[in-house]
Amino acid sequence: MSWHLFTVFFVSTFFISATPGPNMLLAFQYGLNYGVKRTLWTLAGLSLGLFILLLSTLLGLDVISRQSPWLLDIIKTVGALYLIYLGVASWRDAGDGSLMSDAQEMGAEVAADYPSTMQHTADMPKPRSLSSAAVREYPSNVTLFRTGVWVSLSNPKAILFFAAFFPKFINFSAPLWPQYILLTIGLFFSETIWQIIYTVGGKQLAGWLDIGNRLAWLNRACGVIFILIAAALLAEVASTFIA
Give the model's pLDDT for residue 187.
92
Is residue 38 within 8 Å of 145, Cβ to Cβ?
Answer: no
Q: For position 45, what pLDDT does the model report? A: 93
Q: What is the pLDDT of residue 98?
A: 58
pLDDT at 148 over 50: yes
Which one has a higher pLDDT value, 183 or 214? 183
Give the pLDDT confidence of 68-118 residue by residue, as tens digits. 888 888 888 888 888 888 788 878 876 665 555 555 565 666 655 555 444
Cα gap 103→112, rounded to integer Å: 14
Domain hosting residue 175, numbered range:
3-242
Q: Do residues 219 and 96 make contact, with C-beta atoms less than 8 angstroms apart?
A: no
What is the domain count for the chain? 1
Mean pLDDT of 178-190: 91
pLDDT-derived band at 41, boundaries 50, 70, 90: very high
Stretch 141-159: mean pLDDT: 85
- Say if CB 146 and CB 26 are below 8 A apart: no
Residue 128, pLDDT above cutoff 50: no
Name the average pLDDT for the chain: 78
What's the pLDDT band for 9 if we cut at 50, 70, 90? Answer: very high
pLDDT band at 213 (very low <50, low <70, confident <90, very high): confident
Contact call for residues 124 and 103 (beta carbons, < 8 A): yes
The angle at the Cα of 51, spanning 115 to 149, to the nearest 5 degrees, equals 5
Measure the CA–CA gap between 111 and 105, rounded to whole angstroms: 10
Rounded CA gap, 30 and 139, in Å? 11
Question: In whole angstroms, how far apart are CA 59 and each of 104, 106, 142, 160, 174?
Answer: 35, 30, 29, 14, 16
Q: What is the mean pLDDT of residues 15-19?
A: 84
Q: Which pLDDT score, from 0 to 100, does residue 209 have?
A: 66
Is the model's pLDDT at 167 over the cut of 70?
yes
pLDDT at 126 over 60: no
- Taking only the tens place, the pLDDT of each residue in 216-242 is 777 788 788 888 888 888 887 887 777
pLDDT, residue 42, reads 92
Q: Given this model, what pLDDT does residue 101 score?
A: 59
pLDDT over threshold 50, residue 122: no
On whether the pTM is more than 0.85, the answer is no
Query: pLDDT at position 210, please?
Result: 65
C-alpha–C-alpha distance, residues 28 and 201, integer Å: 8
Whether residue 130 is predicted with pLDDT greater than 50 in this model: the reply is: no
- For residue 231, the one-letter residue type is A
